Structure 1
């Protein structure tokens, strides 16, 4: 039986590349994002294999409607990948509650809304796999990523807490922590991005990790090693390194 995957944030970047990869792996894929035109264009390239479900994940009622539509029209969701998110750099000099609220609404609450919707069905069926796309920036506070890193740290803790509970019900959950990936979001960065990988490379790594049922998929390995080393340092040494990441004074 053909498996069904639902991917949010799939109009571009990691979400779209992963949709491509899962199609090659034999899935039928339901794609969701705010850009209906981009989703329709993607579906045209894969006739009969892609269901288009435009969605703003910050609207809980819309999330429930889309989930119901997918299950009614395509079948029970075997794999749900929540990749919708946004990234805006922020600094002490321009820190703003409005920006923090906006990122938490999308990155954390939008993901939580999707999880709230899919988990009961998967628990009732005693099968299914949920994957949440976070970031290595959730491991440690990095200058310029106070809010973004906080949202990704929240997702890491959420998934880690849910893992044993979902496991008891036969449901898998995976946290995906990429380093720098070449996407429309990272194209606006004006600083060096070490160990940058393409969206296609990221999708291949994620697909392989999901197939293994790994709890955490963190990549590329050089970035994973560097961020874990930084996280393990005492604060005095960690701050000595993160001070070097400060932007020049304005």
Structure 2
């Protein structure tokens, strides 16, 4: 059976989810716990993780506080999880978004996004892959974004990090085909979270975190590489992405109002 068709179930081991204290990650943790998974939840705030654990089925959500930019802590967490049994499924969901146009560009802000969104993922991938390669099976999923298909206004750095994650997952999937490990990339559209609340434009096909979590959990429990939603928005962006560069840039600027008169929320 192809690795892309492998589906992990609660009987195969535990799940680990980063970025678990809010938004999509929090909703995914709760949904998976209710489906019978033992979920190890990681975020920086221990208090928020304890609150999350209290909302789920008893004993099914286990707080594992830590910052994904701390490689040693991520290795400690994976070692602690795997000391109790197999790690069947990991969703590396932690990430940050700060809108930044060219006239607002700031290297320190950009560096923070590069570090959390990319270095944070690799810090977690290292111990997870080592464990899954040794056990000969597992499923590693990474949350990227439809913003990574091609560049979007206000998001040069964010789109850059997400494009990198899509390519990262594609390359890992090629390697892991021979190792028994399934790799998935999760590409959400706009989801109503604290991060997107700073956007000053109308967000098309905006989803609630619970809706996004359902799409993710359903995708993780069925075969395949990419989990992308909502479908209509994904189709539009992928179609636009086929345009030559000059036409793509002009079309997106016009569609988003990013021609010097950006649409603002009313």
User: Normalising TM by the smaller chain, what interval?
Assistant: over 0.9
> What is residue 100 of structure 1 aligned with on the other side?
110
Cα distance in structure 2, aligned partners of 1:216 and 1:189: 26
1:192-211 residue pairs with structure 2 within 5 A? 192-211=202-221
SS in 1 for 2:96: coil
Contact 1:3 1:26 in 2 (8 A): no
Confirm or deny that 1:212 pairs with 2:222: yes
Cα distance in structure 2, aligned partners of 1:243 and 1:119: 40
Query: Mind listing any 5+ residue stretches in structure 1 that lack a counterpart?
Result: none
Contact 2:146 2:189 in 1 (8 A): yes
Confirm or deny that 1:40 pairs with 2:50: yes
State the shift of 1:28 in Å: 0.6
Query: How many pairs were matched up?
Result: 249
Q: Which of 48, 71, 93 is residue 82 of structure 2 equivalent to?
A: 71
Cα distance in structure 1, aligned partners of 2:261 and 2:192: 27
4+ long deviations beyond 6 Å: none
Confirm or deny that 1:146 pairs with 2:186: no
Cα distance in structure 2, aligned partners of 1:21 and 1:44: 14
> What is residue 55 of structure 1 aligned with on the other side?
66
> What is residue 224 of structure 1 aligned with on the other side?
234
TM-score, normalization by structure 2: 0.90
**Distance change in 2, residues 1:205/1:97 (3 Å):** same
SS in 2 for 1:193: coil
Cα distance in structure 2, aligned partners of 1:130 and 1:79: 6
Contact 1:6 1:81 in 2 (8 A): yes
Select between 52-61 and 20-29 the one with higher mean Cα deviation.
Answer: 20-29
Cα distance in structure 2, aligned partners of 1:155 and 1:182: 22
TM-score, normalization by structure 1: 0.96
Confirm or deny that 1:134 pairs with 2:144: yes
Contact 2:12 2:88 in 1 (8 A): no
State the shift of 1:25 in Å: 1.6
